[in-house]
Each structure stands twice: as structure tokens, then as C-alpha cells.
Amino acid sequence: MKPNIELNIDQLVLEGFSRNEAYAITQSLQAELHQLIENGRLENTLTQEYHQQKMTLNPISTLANTRPEGVGRQIAQSIFSSLIQNGNTNL
């Protein structure tokens, strides 16, 4: 049985994107994070209740023709990577 993992992101600041792009980025980010958490063995890293007040990610790099969905996937991968790193060191 998989453990119950709940992830809440209260605020995501996206600068330089239109409202429609921000919506597509958010939808893609959610889908990618869900997949990464389901398949990425995060439950083995976070073995107890874990709260992180603020997470600052490294900037992501995009080209002018990068679709919003690709931006969302990059952000999700960065969040997931940070969760794994912080989960291993801050618990």
C-alpha cells in the first residue's frame, strides 16, 4: 500500500507569461508532479511529516518557442528534485 502524500503549493509566481500561458503551465506542472510522485519513490525519501515554508528553485531556461506545457514540466521536475534533496537532509 502506498503512503498518502499531500503536496500543497500556496503560491507559484510566474513572471513573463500571459494568463493563458500561466494556466497551461499550472496544469502541466500538476500533471507532471503527480506522475513524478507516483513513480519517483518520493515516499522513501519523506518518511515522516515534512513541512517546508518556502522553496526557491533555480531559474529554468526556456527558448522563445518553448510551449507552456514544457515550462510546467520543467518547474515540476525542479520542485521534485528539491523535495528529494531537502527530504534527505532536513528530516
Q: What angle do CA 22, 52, 80 make, to 5 degrees?
A: 55
Report the pLDDT value the prediction gives residue 89, as an integer from 0 to 100: 45
The string of pLDDT tens digits covering residues 1-58 is: 566 777 788 888 888 889 899 999 999 999 999 898 888 666 555 556 666 677 777 7
> What is the residue extent of each domain of the chain?
19-46+62-90
Q: What angle do CA 62, 54, 18 make, to 5 degrees?
A: 35
Residue 69: is its pLDDT beyond 90? yes
Q: How many CB atoms lie within 10 A of CB 38?
A: 12
Instruction: Choose between 51 and 75: higher pLDDT.
Output: 75
Q: What angle do CA 34, 40, 43 make, to 5 degrees?
A: 90
- pTM (predicted TM-score): 0.77
